[in-house]
Structure 1
Amino acid sequence: MQWSDYTNGERIKVLRGKDVTQAALSELTGLSVVTIQKAEQDKQLSLNTLMKIAAALGVDTSVILGQQAPRRAMAQSDRTMMRALSQTVHDTAAGLLPDSVVVEEAAVVREAIDKCWDHYWKGHYTKAGALVVPILPQATAYLRDQVVGAQGEAWGLLADAYRLAAYVANLMGARDLAYSAIGHAQAAAERSDDELQPALVASGRAWVYLRDARLGDALSLAEKAAVDIEPRFSRATMEQLTVYGSHINFAAVVASRMKNEDLVKSYLSQSNATGARMGVEHRARGTLFGPMTADTQAVGIAVALGQTGKALDLIRDIQEPELDALTEAARNRYAMDKAMAQADARQWDASLDTLEKALIEAPTWARHQALPSVIVQKVGRASTARVRRVSALIGVRPGVDSGFAPATSKTAL
C-alpha cells in the first residue's frame, strides 16, 4: 500500500506515531483535542489546522496531503531535528546568526564537536544532529571573532561542524542537505590550517556519493582522499594512521559495490597493513580505525561481493569480546553484515538470532538502516513465523518489499 492510498487523517495518525498522543499534538499545535480528532477522522481539516499540524510533526503540508511520501524511519523527533538542522546549515552559510549566540573559546567548541561525534558513533543520530544545531553558529561566531590571517583553526572547527551536519543528513536520507553541508565543509576545510581536513571532507563527500549511487565518483574521490594523506609508516602518528586507514577501507567498500575484486584486494591489503601497524583501535577526527575495524569491514565487503563462504570464514575468526574495541555503530553494522552472510548461506535461524539480538540492543540505530529489512525479506522466504517478531522490531511487514507500513513511523531506511 502506497502513502497516497491513505486518507489525510490516516497519514496524520501514522506521522504522529506512538510517541505523540492526540493530547500532546494538541499542545504542540495550540489546537483543541477535538480539532485533532476531527482531522484524524477526516471530518474537518482547514488550511490553518493543516499548517499547524504539519509544523508540529516536522513535515511539509504535501506529506499530509499525500502528494509526497515521508522519509522512512523518521519519528516526529527526527523530523523536528532535521528541520532545525536544515535551517541552521543554510542560515550560517548565509552569515545569519541568532542574536543569542555567544562567542566561545576554541576549546569549548572543540569539546562540543567531540561530544557530538560520540553520540554519532553510538548511533544516536537524532541527538547528534540536535547538537550540531547550536555548534554551527558557535563555530561561525568564533571564526568572525578571529583576526584575519589567524583564522586557520576556526575554519577547521567550522569544517568539522558542517561535516557532522552532512553525515547526519546523509544517514537521514536528506541528500540535498547532505550535499549542501559537505560543500560548505569543503570551502571551510580549504581555508583551515589542518592538513588532514580537506581529505576528511573529501571522504565525507565520497560517502554522500555512495549513498546517492554515484559509485564511480565515490571511488575516484575516496582514492584521491586516501592518496592525499598516505603517511610514511615509519614516522606516521596514530592520528594519521587512523584517518588513512579509514579512508583506504572506505575505498575498498566502494570498490566492492562496483564488484571490482582486484581493487578490493589491493585496498584491503593496505587496510590490513595499516591496522597491523597500529595494533589497537584508535579514534581521531570523527573516525575510528584499527585491526578490528579492518577485520569486520572485510566481512561486509565479502558479503557485497557475494563471497558468502569467505564472509563466514572471516566471521569465525572474530571473537565476540574483541568487538568491544569498536564503536557501537560499528558493532551494529558488523552484526548486520554477519546476519546477511548467514542468510545468504541459508542459515535462517542463525541469521534471525544475530539480527534480533542487534535490533534489541540498538533499536535507535536500527531504525535508520536499510539492511534489517533486506535481511528479513530474504529470511522470510524460507523461515517460520519467528520472522514476524523480528519484523515488528524494525516496523516492516514480512513479505512486503515496498510501500509504507502504517503500523509505525519507525520503518527502516
Structure 2
Amino acid sequence: MDDSTIGVRIRYFRGRALTQRQLADQAGVSVDLVRKLEQGGRQTASIASLQKIARALDVDIADLIGKKQGGVPSTDPDAGIVAIRRALTPVDDLLGAAPDDRSADLDEGRRAVEYAWGAYWTGRYELLTSLLPTGLTQLRATVHAARNGSVAPANELLARMYWVTGCTLVHLGQTDPAFLAIRQALTAAERGDDPLLLATIRGSVAWQLLVQGRYAESRGVALRAAAELEPDGEVAAPHLAAYGSLVLQGATAAGRAQEVPEALALVQTASEVAGRLGADRRDYETYFGPSQVVMQTVDVNVSAERYPEALAAAATMPVRCGLPQASRARHLTDTAVALTRTGKRGRALDTLLDAERVGGADWLKYQTLPKHIVSELLDHDRRLPLRTFARRLGVHA
C-alpha cells in the first residue's frame, strides 16, 4: 500500500466495506472532510476527527496516520524492538529458573535509569533500544536479590526503567508493548514506598491512553490520581509539581475529546499551581511549570482547531523555557500547525526547521506530524528550501 498520505490510508482501510458517506456517518464527521482527505484536498485533520475515523474503520490511529514503525536494525542481538519485547515478557518462573544473575547494585541501577531518561528527553530513541533490554534484565535481577531495606528502592528503580521503556516504545509506534511496560512500571512502583512516583506513573498511564485515543479513560485516570494528591495547605515543591502535572494531563485529554471549556478550566488550575512554584521543575522524570502549561495550552487549542488562540498562547512561552529538547521540538511542531492553518506558511516552515534543530534527526525520524504539515505547505510552496526539508523528512516533493 502507498502510505504516503492519510487520505490514501483511509481509502485503503475503507475498501469496499464503506462508502465515504457511510464512513463519515459512523465516525460522526462531515463527508466533506472524508472526501477532501481522500482526494488530497486536505493532508490532515484534528486529532479528535482522525481518532473518530480510525475507530469507525476499526484500526489503530497509529495505522491511520502512519505512525506504525518497523524494527530498529542493529548488529547487537541484544538490542532492538524484539530484544525489548523479550525483556518485557520473561518466562523464568515457568522454566523454574532465577532471573538473570547480572544484577546491578542500587547505585549502578540508579545511574542506568538516569542515563536512559537523559537519552529519552533528548530524543535518542535508537540508542534506547540498545540500553533498555539490558537495563530491564539487570534491574529485575536486582529486585530478585534485594533484601530488607533495599527491596523498596530496587522496585522503584525497576519501575522507572519500565516507565522509560513504555515511553520510548510509544514513540517507536509500538503501542501494545508500551502499555505492557507502563503497567509493569505501575506494579513495581506499588512495591516501593514513594507515593509521588506511583502517582506520576499513573499520569504516564493516562498519557498512553491518550495516545490510543481513549480520551475519557485518560482524563479519568489522570484526574483521579490528581485528586489523591490535591494539596491541603503547604506541601513540598515535588508534591505540588506532581499534582499540577496530573491536572495538566487531564486537561490535555479533555481537549482531545473536544471538551474545550473543561480543558481550559483544568489548564487554568494547572497554571495557578505553576504560579505557586514560580519556575519550571523536573521531578520524577516529569517536567512541570509555566513552560509546560503554555505548551499544553497550545496543544488544547490546536486539538480544538482554535489556531489564533494557540498562537496567542505560544507567544507567552517564557524566555527561559524549561522544557526538555523533545518537548520543545513537539511544542514548535504544534505551533507550526497553527501557523500553517492561519496562512502564515513562511513562519510555519521556519518553526519546523527550529523543531528539527532542537529535536535532532533521531527525534524527527519518528514523528509524523511534521510530515503532514510539510505536505500541506507543499500545496502552496514548491521553492527549494521547503523541497529540501521535505526530502529530509521522506515526503514526496
Shorter-chain TM-score above 0.5: yes
With normalisation by structure 2, the TM-score equals: 0.76
Residue-by-residue CA offset, 1:111-168 (whole Å, 9 max, x unaligned): 2111211111111122234222222122222212223686222222221111111111
1:353 aligns with 2:353: no
The aligned residue for residue 372 of structure 1 is: 370
C-alpha displacement at 1:76, in angstroms? 2.8
What displacement does 1:346 show?
0.9
Equivalent position of 1:326 in the other structure: 323
Residues 168-317 of structure 1 mapped to structure 2, 5 A cutoff: 168-232=168-232, 234-317=233-316
Describe the shift of the 1:368–1:195 C-alpha distance in structure 2 as closer, same or farther (beyond 3 A): same
- Equivalent residue, structure 1, for 2:393: 394
SS at 1:180 equivalent: helix
Q: CA separation of 1:94/1:218 partners in 2, compared to 1, >3 Å: closer, same or farther?
A: farther
Matches within 5 A, 1:65-84: 71-72=68-69, 75-77=72-74, 80-84=79-83
Contact 1:152–1:193 (8 Å) recurs in 2: yes
Partner of residue 61, structure 2:
none
> Structure 1 pair 225/130, CA: closer, same or farther in 2 (3 Å)?
farther
Can you list the C-alpha shifts for 1:270-300, whole angstroms capped at 9, x where unaligned? 1111111111111111111111121122112
1:126–1:245 distance in 2 versus 1, CA, 3 Å: farther
Residues 85 and 384 of structure 1, relative CA distance in 2, 3 Å threshold: same
Question: Could you tell me which amino acid in structure 1 is paired with residue 354 of structure 2?
Answer: K
Question: Where does structure 1 lack aligned partners over 5 or more consecutive residues?
Answer: 4-68, 399-413
Structure-2 separation of matches of 1:170 and 1:242: 24
Alignment partners' CA distance in 2, 1:93 and 1:394? 42
Contact 2:215 2:257 in 1 (8 A): yes
TM-score w.r.t. structure 1 length? 0.73
C-alpha distance in 2, partners of 1:305/1:294? 17
Structure 2: how far apart are the matches of 1:303 and 1:70?
19
User: 2:339–2:345: 8 Å Cα contact kept in structure 1?
Assistant: yes
- CA pair 192-315 structure 1, distance change in 2 beyond 3 A: same
Matching of residues 332-347 of structure 1 within 5 Å: 332-347=329-344
Which letter maps to 1:101? R
CA distance in 2, matches of 1:305, 1:97: 51
SS of structure 1 residue aligned to 2:282: strand
* Cα shift at 1:311: 1.4
Do 1:363 and 1:393's aligned partners in 2 also have CA atoms closer than 8 Å? no
Residue type matched to 2:102 in 1? V
The runs of 5 or more residues in structure 2 that have no matched partner are 4-65
Kindly indicate whether the alpha-carbon contact (under 8 Å) linking 1:139 and 1:157 is maintained by their aligned counterparts in 2.
Answer: yes
Larger radius of gyration: 1
Match of 1:145 in 2: 145
Letter in 2 for 1:274: V
Q: Structure 2: which amino acid aligns with 1:231? A: P
The residue type paired with residue 374 of structure 2 is V
Residue 156 of structure 2 corresponds to 156
Deviating more after overlay: 197-206 vs 270-279: 197-206
Regions of 4+ moved over 3 Å: 69-75, 77-80, 92-100
